[in-house]
Amino acid sequence: MKTVKLTFKTNEEWRKERANSIGASAVGILIGENHFTTPYELAQRIRAERNGEFDFSQSLAMMRGHAYEQGVADLFAWQTGKQIIKSSSAEYLLRREDIPFMHASPDRTYWIDENGMKHGKNAEANKGILECKTTRRPIDPEDLPVSWIFQLQVQLGISGFKEGYIAWDVLTSADGFGYRRFEFNEEIFNAAVEVCREFWQNCILDGNNPAPVNASDVVALYPNSIQGKTITANAETIKDLEQLKEIKQTKKELEEEIEQLSDKIKSQFTDEEAMVSPDGKVLATFKTTAGRTSVDSKKLKAEYPEIYANCSKVSAGSRTFLLK
């Protein structure tokens, strides 16, 4: 199948075109392997962007990930001897004509062997994809995050390349760099295509919402409860409720023990601000904090009712979860 490459001068141009399809990095969200974004949130973002509503601001984590790509690529080249293709750092998208609802945007590509462009017309067959990752959690090379693997396989399936690497650098460890090679897996790719096809048709084109997967989704989709309406818990949920009760009881007991121990230790103070060990190490403090200014709302309402009314506002109600 023919793969089309779209290049862009700016990140904003790239993001605007990206809104017309599902990126390889989003597949992890759709298969439930991304704990930062839900399918509902993804659908909301794509819908907004397709309507021209873009938020071009980036979080520190997003900026850090983008900035560190080159560093991870450099470490990979140094460790493996592979030659990174310089032009692959540009902003571009790859799409296959038969699955236009998906796109790939590889971090980098590399020459599989040293000959590089010497392959002439066959140079494309000598390219592989490098997916660069930075993380703060320990990584087991034999048990990489499923979302990473799906992302690379989608990149390979759309590009037509037959191999790729995932390279990562654990920012909390001095020796946290690693990499692993993968060959194209058609089974994984086809599974990802079907998930994306269903999501694009049902949730983007038809406008249906994905099922909620966490409390934030529920509140966003159903901000108000209906008085008197009930839901019957299944066996698994009843078990979860019982476990939650046990954990909350344990927490309550621990909090009471913490409070008792804190009071016992505080009772040793008079007007001292710190407690130290025999060798002078500070073990605890009991300092006076700075006072704060607050408004006596009851007095304000009683003595200055007009001012109180003008400065008051009624906030929207919220859904509160209580365990009975």
Give the model confidence (pLDDT) of 40-66 as tens digits: 999 999 999 999 998 877 777 777 777
Confidence of residue 109 (pLDDT cuts 50, 70, 90): very high
Q: 304 with 208: CB under 8 angstroms?
A: no
Q: What is the CATH number of domain 3-221?
A: 3.90.320.10
Q: Indicate if the pLDDT at residue 316 is higher than 90.
A: no
pLDDT of residue 33: 92
Q: Which amino acid is at 241?
A: L
Q: Over the range 43-69, which residues count as b (16 or more CB within 10 Å of their CB) and which as e?
A: bbbbeebeeeeeeeeeeeeeeebeeeb
CA 192 vs CA 53, 73, 180: distances in Å: 27, 26, 21
pLDDT of residue 122: 65
pLDDT of residue 119: 59
Q: Indicate if the pLDDT at residue 148 is higher than 60.
A: yes
In the chain, what percentage of residues exceed pLDDT 90?
Answer: 70
Tokens of 266: 């505080």
Runs of H (alpha helix) within the chain: 11-18, 27-30, 39-50, 60-80, 146-159, 186-199, 215-221, 235-266, 297-303, 305-311
* pLDDT tens per residue, range 23-39: 999 999 999 998 889 99
pLDDT of residue 283: 95
Q: Indicate if the pLDDT at residue 116 is higher than 60.
A: no
pLDDT of residue 212: 94
What are the sequence ranges of the domains in the chain?
3-221
Q: Indicate if the pLDDT at residue 300 is higher than 70.
A: yes
pLDDT of residue 79: 94
* pLDDT tens per residue, range 71-97: 999 999 999 999 999 889 888 999 999
Confidence of residue 185 (pLDDT cuts 50, 70, 90): very high
The mean predicted confidence, pLDDT, of the chain is 91
pLDDT of residue 60: 79
pLDDT of residue 281: 95
Q: Indicate if the pLDDT at residue 240 is higher than 60.
A: yes
Q: Lowest-pLDDT range, 118-122, 148-152, 185-189? A: 118-122
Q: Indicate if the pLDDT at residue 262 is higher than 90.
A: yes
Confidence of residue 150 (pLDDT cuts 50, 70, 90): very high
Give the separation between CA 94 and CA 106, rounded to whole angstroms. 9
Q: 145 with 131: CB under 8 angstroms?
A: no
pLDDT of residue 290: 87
Q: 30 with 42: CB under 8 angstroms?
A: yes
pLDDT of residue 242: 95
pLDDT of residue 216: 92
